[in-house]
Amino acid sequence: MLASLRGAPAMLTQPIRLLRGYSLAALRADLIAGASVGVVLLPQSLAFSLLAGLPPTMGLYAAIMASVIGALWGSSSHLHSGPTNTASILTLSVLLPIAAPGSPAFIAAAGLIAVMAGGIRLLMGMARLGVLVNFVSDSVAVGFTAGAGILIMSNQIEPLLNLKLQSSSSLLDTLHFTAVQIGQAHLPSLMLGLGTVGLLLLLPRLQRKLPAVLLSVVAGGAVSWGLGMEALGVKVLGELPHRLPPLATLPALNIHLVGQLANGALALAIIGLVEAVAIARAVASHSRQRLDSNQEFVGQGLANIAAGLFTGYPCSGSFNRSALSYQSGARTGLGNAFSGVFVLTAMFVLAPLISHLPRPVLAGTLIVTAYSMIDRRAMARIWRGARGDTAIMLITLAATLALPLQFAVLIGVLMSLGYYLLKTSAPQVLAVLPDDKFRHWTHQPNTPGCPQLTVVDLLGDLYFGAANHVEESLYDLLMISPQQRFLMLRMHSVQHCDISGIRVLENILRICRERGGGMFLVRVHEPVLRVMRSTGFVQLLGAGAFLSEDDAVETLFHHVLDPAICIYECELRTFRECQELPKRALASGVIVPEVHGPTRPVPELAARALWARLRGADPPLVVDVREPREYRLGHIPEAQLVPLLNILGGPSALPRDRSIILACRSGRRSARAAAHLAACGHANISILQGGMLAWEAAALLEAVDG
């Protein structure tokens, strides 16, 4: 936390980074976009303040302060901060138990809760808690965008048709009320709104660089004025206030009131952040801008603090204004800042003109903007993808249409989190085999594997949520082939392991060792290895069980696996190392003795010690129990070839009165032969320690048969 806060001052210098290298071309684009958004911001701020039970002037002041501060200190070039439907409804619901709407106490509490919610958002940004919004998946953003676009279009039915619809957040209720009153639709308003829609669709086809939104609004206003449509009943914005946002007197020292507002401020802060960042990500999916969630938290926090201090109320990100900012061609966040300046200017300079701006013209503008933000291509892509993503998108879309926006976003986030937990709690545990060219490991469920070694890919983290699933999956794989004694886990996808994961590995290791085998790990990442060291698992498993991926199978093949099984009992050639291995079938009734588990130890003789004895007065008899082809490629001078199959197949012809040293590739077949000879009464038997691999490593003389 302290490390995060050390970098907090840099977040407060965001306006400097925004203005650095700012160009005249960007200024022109941002001015046009700011004017276009400002035309919509002005009436919305008036309407939303009334929805919150507050005077219209508070909406204007909140719009001015939040749009400027949020744009300068946020990271998104298009997220527009200011009064919103969600923030207004939440403010009303939190303050209703405290004071009567419109009363001085109600107004003071609205400003105070804006500062409190802004402070919480600011602290969350400073503490770099923007990671929380990583759970707003693309499916949530696309579903929310589509639902919000449909809602915005439905909310413009009232001004477009000049109806007096009953207030409702439900799409079905809005459509029902519209159907009931459709006979009362105002034709001049409808024609003016549809004309604006048509002009907005036509202008980009003629010239994409034209400020289509601004031109359409100006043209609609000119037509309304020229035809005297206001006198025909077309609704306009109305008179605006004429004063700067005043500094509010907040009851910050009223501890009782602060306590009453604390829970509501926290809810406003969290829900507003989730909604704002979801909107920013939705627009960024079109603009391809990279967002800094922590910086966005800071911008939203400062915007609310400024709004509360200057006689405003809680604000958040607006989807329709953000979409309009993008559609209007804003280059940077200054476009949204200019929208606040436009509202401030309009209150003094353009008030007479803007007060006569027709509401149906603004409705038509928002309808086109909302429709353009429904990303049908992205929805189709998600539909063709994973079922989980499709379900999240559809449920978020449905929740956006049926519930208040803040709950729709939270439902989407919770679904994304649940889907993530579901996926991470059930990682794939796949038995893999080499492909035909021995270059890659692949899951081949219909191909038989090695009877001694199971190779498994762990495709996910080994944490408490996944521990039980991984353990059951590994246990099931081991139970499929009870004769398999060795397990190699490929852990390249395991980025995290906790004590529950260590417990799983210990349980599986115990099963392998009870079978007389063991477990080996490949590509263990350093963070996971640190946990294994600190919990004592490395000591339990043994350092030699951590293998390099490049030579893991080769190491196991030559030093761990039983070559007698490979030669006499297995007909497969699973690994590259098996390709040159001779395969011989055992005669009927011949049994290869087991060498794992509790057995009588057989004396071993090191390679150089054997070399010294061979050069002494009473050299031992060296019996090579490998196959003839292996023997011909290189063997100990004077060694007698007696393949293991011959030793096991009948009475031993080896002398009982002479010291016998058994040799093979690595020592495994020698141990098999020694167990059999000991059972037949041979007493003076030893094994070449490490087999011919150790002999070759000691650079001792070998004989080769041509």
**Checking phi first, is residue 597 left (phi over 0); if not, alpha (psi -120 to 50) or beta?**
left
664 labelled catalytic = yes
Cα 337 to the chain's mean position, in Å? 32
CA distance 187 to 359: 14
Catalytic annotation, pick one of 450, 570, 664, 680: 664
CA distance 188 to 196: 12
Q: Is 207 exposed, middle or buried (0-12, 13-18, 19+ CB in 10 A)?
A: exposed
Looking at residue 597, what DSSP letter applies?
S
CA distance 608 to 622: 14
- DSSP SS3 for 664: coil
| Residue 478 contacts residue 462 (beta carbons within 8 Å) | no
Distances 589 to 48, 649, 652 between C-alpha atoms, Å: 92, 9, 16
Buried residues in 362-382 as b, exposed as e (16+ CB within 10 A): bbbbbbbbbbbbbbeebbeeb
CA distance 142 to 377: 10
CA distance 486 to 502: 18
- DSSP SS3 for 338: helix
| Residue 231 contacts residue 398 (beta carbons within 8 Å) | no
| Residue 460 contacts residue 491 (beta carbons within 8 Å) | no
Strand spans (E) along 362-473: 428-434, 441-443, 453-459
CA distance 226 to 25: 34
Q: Is 98 exposed, middle or buried (0-12, 13-18, 19+ CB in 10 A)?
A: middle
| Residue 336 contacts residue 81 (beta carbons within 8 Å) | yes
| Residue 682 contacts residue 661 (beta carbons within 8 Å) | no
Among the listed residues 702, 695, 632, the one whose alpha carbon sits nearest the alpha carbon of residue 663: 695
Contacts of 584 (CB under 8 A, 6+ apart): 567, 568, 627, 643, 645
Q: Residue 370: which H helix or E strand, with range?
A: helix 359-372
| Residue 642 contacts residue 624 (beta carbons within 8 Å) | yes
CA distance 214 to 27: 16
For residue 490, list its beta bridge partners. Answer: 457, 522
CA distance 90 to 406: 9
| Residue 471 contacts residue 508 (beta carbons within 8 Å) | yes
CA distance 333 to 34: 10
The structure tokens listed for 192 are: 């003016």
| Residue 448 contacts residue 462 (beta carbons within 8 Å) | no
Which residues are catalytically annotated? 664
